[in-house]
Amino acid sequence: MSVEQLVHEMCLAARQAARQLATAPSGQKNQALRAMAAALRQEAPGLKEANAQDLEGARQAGLSAAMIDRLTLSDAVIESMAAGLEEVAALPDPVGEITSMWRRPNGLLVGRQRIPLGVIGFIYESRPNVTVDAAGLCLKSGNAVVLKGGKEALESNLALARVVAQALEAAGLPPAAVQVIPTTDRAATSALLKEDELVDVIIPRGGEGLIRFVAENSAIPVLKHYKGVCHVFVDASADQDMALEICLNAKCQRPGVCNAMETLLVHQDLAPQFLPRVAQALMEKGVEIRGCPQTCRLVPQAKPAVEEDWPAEFLDLILAVKVVEGMDQALDHIDRYGSRHTEAIVTSDYTRAKHFLDRVDSSVVLVNASTRFNDGGQLGLGAEIGINTSKLHAFGPMGLAELTSQKFVVQGEGQVRS
């Protein structure tokens, strides 16, 4: 069978499974999720064996230590996957929820009811834990999922898929609800992106290169974000201690993630006092400062920023810093260089807080809080399948509800249209 045929058969099976999943009771889905968790724990030795093959291949291929770390299925990672599934089982089921209902003048009762999207194509890099996370969220929201992971993780992913399929069957659900494409051939990704009759949405997760490839080659709608160039604007009226804590947290708590701060904007009135202080604290944590000319005057250790630093997603202990004349210049800078991901203002001024919240065109806009809160779990969505920085369907972190659509349900007593 060709790769295209293989992928097509899998998508057909997923479509069939999706029909059954769409009306599966919550109890049955939760039972499957808990069975998956139990099976992962039980099958840990076999999973680690499969993972060892991947790790051996990765070492021979000379993968970086960071990549090998992400690829590794340790006991802790397996336990964390299992616990994650149990957490998803405990979340409310979005499917079937009537989100609103109203009566029309002619007596018709009109409601909107949540339904699954159908079949989700999930494309990601070599992180086997993502296989299980995505499977759990898709299953809970009544969607079938076809998973295409990175080539270095194939053996691990196939072993995980076997465990998941058994748990699905044991719970009376179709094993085709969660399928891993069993090949490292990149043609499988292209084939999946062409199945627009069978797949409802593609969610890619990984580096910008992978996501661009998916976006440019997909005949299916894609929910994606390319990068997070997140800004913190410290306003003139900011509480300086609060601003310092937020800046340190936003930059240093986990610098390699998309919701870390990449550019700090400081109001010129506060800059002479605040900038030396925050720069000192950041540098003590190992952060390299790349500043505008004014910043460099106030912070002699700063390197001069070049144009490429302003739209950069460093994902590292590097921070671009700019002194701005005021709110308008801060908003213009964000508009020009930002990625519509996450921006925060630190201010004591109510009107300016409100102005910033209204004007900034990003998926998450915060007042007096760290950018690191752009996360489905942190914002209260329960869990997160990804972040979308295009505005269609969902903007920002996507939880279970964002893996659903809504249909209109209409109850009448014989109404006709005149």
Q: Which is nearer to a copy of itself, 300 or 414 (CB)?
A: 414
**Does 60 engage in binding with a copy of itself (CB under 8 A)?**
no
* Closest separation in Å from C-beta 243 to a copy of itself: 9
User: 130, 178 in Cβ contact below 8 A?
Assistant: no
- Binding test (CB under 8 A) with a copy of itself, winner from 96, 175, 276, 311: 96
Q: Mapping DSSP to helix (H, G, I), strand (E, B) and coil, where does residue 115 land?
A: strand
The footprint of a copy of itself on this chain (CB under 8 A) covers a number of residues equal to 68
Pick out residues in 265-324 that bind a copy of itself (CB under 8 A). Answer: none
Q: Strand, helix or coil at 54?
A: helix
Q: What is the spatial distance between Cα 407 and Cα 195, in angstroms, rounded to a whole number? A: 23
**CB 150, CB 157: distance < 8 Å:** no
The answer to whether 53 contacts a copy of itself (rule: CB under 8 A) is no
Q: Is 102 in the site for a copy of itself (CB under 8 A)?
A: yes
Q: Is 336 in the site for a copy of itself (CB under 8 A)?
A: no
Applying CB under 8 A, which part among 180-188, 270-278, 286-294, 385-393 lies near a copy of itself?
385-393
Non-local (6+) Cβ contacts of 275 within 8 A are 266, 295, 298, 299, 321, 323
Residues 78 and 164: beta-carbon distance below 8 Å: no
Q: Are 78 and 5 in contact (CB under 8 A)?
A: no
Q: Is 20 an interacting residue with respect to a copy of itself (CB under 8 A)? A: no
Q: Looking only at residues 74 through 93 of this chain, which bind a copy of itself when binding is defined by CB under 8 A?
A: none
259, 375 contact by CB (below 8 A): yes
The answer to whether 39 and 199 are in contact (CB under 8 A) is no
Indicate if the alpha-carbon torsion angle 149, 154, 156, 162 is positive or negative: positive
Asked whether the beta carbons of 36 and 167 are under 8 A apart, the reply is yes
Cα distance between residue 358 and residue 341, in whole Å? 15
Among 88, 147, 181, 201, binds a copy of itself (CB under 8 A): 201
| Secondary structure letter of residue 91 according to DSSP | S
| Choice from 20, 166, 268, 390 touching a copy of itself (CB under 8 A) | 390
Identity of the residue, 183 or 253, whose beta carbon is nearer to a copy of itself in the bound complex: 253
Q: Is 359 in the site for a copy of itself (CB under 8 A)?
A: yes
Smallest distance, a copy of itself to C-beta of residue 228, A: 14
How far apart CA 110 and CA 1 sit, in angstroms, is: 48
Residues 126-185 that bind a copy of itself (CB under 8 A): none
In the bound state with a copy of itself, the residue whose beta carbon lies nearer, of 153 and 201, is 201
Q: Is 9 helix (H, G, I), strand (E, B) or coil?
A: helix
Q: Which residue has the tokens 């910043």?
A: 295
Q: Which stretch binds a copy of itself (CB under 8 A): 4-12, 154-162, 311-319, 394-402?
A: 394-402
Distances (CA, A) of 393 to 22, 53, 176, 189, 406: 19, 39, 26, 23, 11
Give least dist CB 106 to a copy of itself, A. Answer: 9
Determine if 217 is a binding residue for a copy of itself (CB under 8 A).
no
Least distance (Å) between residue 413 CB and a copy of itself: 6
We find the least distance from the C-beta atom of residue 412 to a copy of itself, in angstroms, to be: 3
Q: Which residues bind a copy of itself (CB under 8 A)?
A: 19, 22-23, 96, 102, 104, 108, 110, 113, 115, 117-118, 200-201, 216, 219, 221, 239, 242, 245-246, 248-250, 253, 335, 353, 357-359, 361-370, 372-374, 378-380, 390-397, 405-418
